[in-house]
Amino acid sequence: MRFLARRLVILASEDVGNADPAGLPLAVAAAHACELVGLPECQLTLAQVVTYLACAPKSNAATVGIGEARADVREGRLLPVPVHLRDSHYGGAKRLGHGEGYEYAHDAPEGIAAQDYLGVEREYYRPTDRGFERELGERLAAIRKRLRGEG
């Protein structure tokens, strides 16, 4: 039972992902329910989650993005953290310029600060056109357009 519940939580993240973000909390709730009631009663809970996740749209866009980012780190394609993002809450940080020029997104129009967070032109997350991830893709496209000064 515990093995099956664990695999369903993994399935919800790895294979369903943001195409149906409700899948992960549902799988976690099912895992918890299985711990509470045990077998044989949790069979129905497991069956419900299996059918939900099997029918859910699928996306591994987050998995692909993580893999690309890890490859960049492993192969030395990385830059230091931009100075404006470095910790400014300790003695001497101001002298080093840490945090200087940081833009608080909540103070920016629509909560979008036109600020470089990565230090390189790279996009790791490319949403699919399936399920809820389609909406995330539209949001991300609008954000990227605004950051380019086009909107």
| 24-75: pLDDT as tens digits | 999 999 999 999 999 999 999 999 999 999 999 999 999 999 999 999 999 9
CA distance 138 to 142: 6
pLDDT tens digits along 106-130: 998 888 888 877 767 788 999 999 9
Split at pLDDT 50, 70, 90, the class of 101 is confident
List, in order, residues 6 or more apart from 60 with CB less than 8 Å away. Answer: 14, 15, 17
Any idea which residue has 């300790």 for tokens? 90
And the tokens for 14? Answer: 């790895």
Model pTM score: 0.80
Give residue-wise pLDDT tens across range 64-100: 999 999 999 999 887 888 888 888 888 888 889 898 8
d(CA 104, CA 115): 9
